[in-house]
Structure 1
Amino acid sequence: MKTESYKTDVTSKEDARFIVSLLQFVISDCIMNFDLDDHNHVLKIETNREIKEMVYGVFNKQGFYCQKL
């Protein structure tokens, strides 16, 4: 598995849990967690496949920003 990191504008634990639950519905074979203490509010995802477009889609639909690091 490789780890992908995304810079986000998610700041609350509630929003982070919500985004992770949506992502797990769309991408069920990945391990995800937020580091809200990091100044970039990083989402890290362990995956075996290309998921960037799916991640961007979930964030955009919910009105959040993310960019792959």
Structure 2
Amino acid sequence: MNVYIFKTSISPQDISFVNSILRSVIPKSSWNFDLEDCDHILRVESKKNITKLVQLNLQRDGFECEELL
């Protein structure tokens, strides 16, 4: 399992909406948020590389999303 970490613009009120986006595009992955971090971290665990998929879908819906390496 790989862990991908993203800097985002997700806020607490966006969680439900973002969860629905992630469920539709990466249903076999798990994720969690650390919105207390200044970078509003999204961590995703997945067997395959989902970086582009997550970034494109969140950005399409108006969120900033950048993988932290």
TM, length-normalised to structure 2: 0.90
Residue type at the aligned position of 2:18? I
Match of 2:21?
22
Deviation at 1:57, TM superposition (A): 1.4
Matches within 5 A, 1:12-51: 13-51=12-50
Identical counterparts, % of pairs: 34
Rounded to whole Å, the distance in 1 between the matches of 2:32 and 2:6 is 11
CA deviations 1:15-46 (Å, max 9, x no partner) are 12211211111110100111101110000000
Runs (4+) of structure 1 moved beyond 3 Å?
none
The 3-state SS of whatever aligns with 2:27 is coil
State the Cα RMSD in Å: 1.0
Aligned amino acid, residue 47 of structure 1: S
Q: Which runs of 5+ in 1 are unaligned?
A: none
1:47-62 mapped onto 2 (5 Å cutoff): 47-62=46-61
Unaligned 5+ runs, structure 2: none
